[in-house]
């Protein structure tokens, strides 16, 4: 016969780990863009850009959480023949958690973490009207290591602030002066992200 305490412990072990829905805005700065294709290569400083991401994050255990995000980043480099353009990311998200203060028996009030977002990128180039260039939607990847703090002030909601570096690389089919070739865009910039998380 299984005793009541043992049965209760088994039920607690089956409980679902806490989840978080994430909503974040991003500010990119101090970046650089590199463009190559058709035998040409150029580099330029990136103007400050804005972005956002939505995601869901589930704890695997006290120190590890896994999930996914969908986000968009805007960018512009004056010396390249493109206006403000966009990278749309579909990412895997991982956080290594370092709990500092508990909130209750299920959630932590204050958590420091290091994390990584990486995945698939769609690149949309807005070619300047005067540029003799046409571009298809590009495909590539992104990689963004971050470090941050998460503060949950109630057991349903919190805020987080994180700092990191974002790398995007995408390849486009380009047409110019009657010829077609593959071009590559590589952008790297620092990013400051601020967001809300909803616990469930």
Q: Read off the pLDDT of residues 13-38 as tens digits, 9 standing for 90 and up.
A: 557 789 999 999 999 999 999 999 88
Instruction: With respect to residue 9, please indicate whether it lies within any of the assigned structural domains.
Output: no
Domain count, the chain: 1
Q: What is the pLDDT of residue 108?
A: 95
Provide the CATH number for the domain around residue 126: 2.40.160
Q: What predicted TM-score, i.e. pTM, was given to this entire model?
A: 0.87
Does residue 68 have a pLDDT over 60? yes
Which residues lie below 8 Å from residue 24, measured CB to CB, with a gap of 6+?
52, 53, 54, 55, 71, 160, 193, 194, 195, 196
* Domain span holding position 155: 29-199
Instruction: With respect to residue 69, please indicate whether it lies within any of the assigned structural domains.
Output: yes
Residue 139 near residue 183, CB atoms below 8 Å: no
Instruction: With respect to residue 99, please indicate whether it lies within any of the assigned structural domains.
Output: yes
Lowest mean pLDDT among 30-39, 87-96, 149-158: 30-39
Confidence of residue 7 (pLDDT cuts 50, 70, 90): low
Q: Quick: pLDDT tens for 133-147.
A: 888 999 999 999 999
Instruction: With respect to residue 48, please indicate whether it lies within any of the assigned structural domains.
Output: yes
């Amino acid at each position: 016969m299984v005793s009541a305490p043992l049965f209760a412990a088994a039920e607690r072990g089956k409980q679902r780990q806490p989840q978080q829905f994430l909503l974040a805005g991003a500010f990119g700065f101090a970046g650089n863009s590199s463009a190559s294709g058709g035998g040409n290569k150029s580099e330029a400083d990136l103007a400050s850009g804005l972005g956002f991401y939505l995601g869901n994050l589930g704890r695997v255990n006290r120190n590890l959480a896994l999930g996914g995000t969908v986000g968009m980043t805007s960018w512009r480099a004056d010396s390249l023949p493109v206006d403000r353009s966009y990278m749309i990311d579909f990412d895997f998200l991982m956080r290594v958690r370092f709990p500092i203060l508990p909130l209750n028996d299920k959630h932590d009030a204050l958590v420091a973490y290091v994390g990584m977002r990486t995945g698939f990128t769609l690149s949309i180039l807005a070619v300047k009207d005067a540029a003799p260039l046409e571009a298809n939607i590009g495909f590539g990847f992104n990689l963004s290591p971050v470090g941050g703090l998460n503060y949950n002030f109630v057991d349903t909601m919190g805020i987080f602030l994180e700092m990191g570096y974002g790398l995007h690389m995408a390849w486009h089919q380009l047409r110019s002066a009657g010829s077609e070739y593959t071009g590559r865009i590589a952008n790297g910039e620092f990013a400051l992200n601020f967001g809300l998380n909803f616990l469930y």
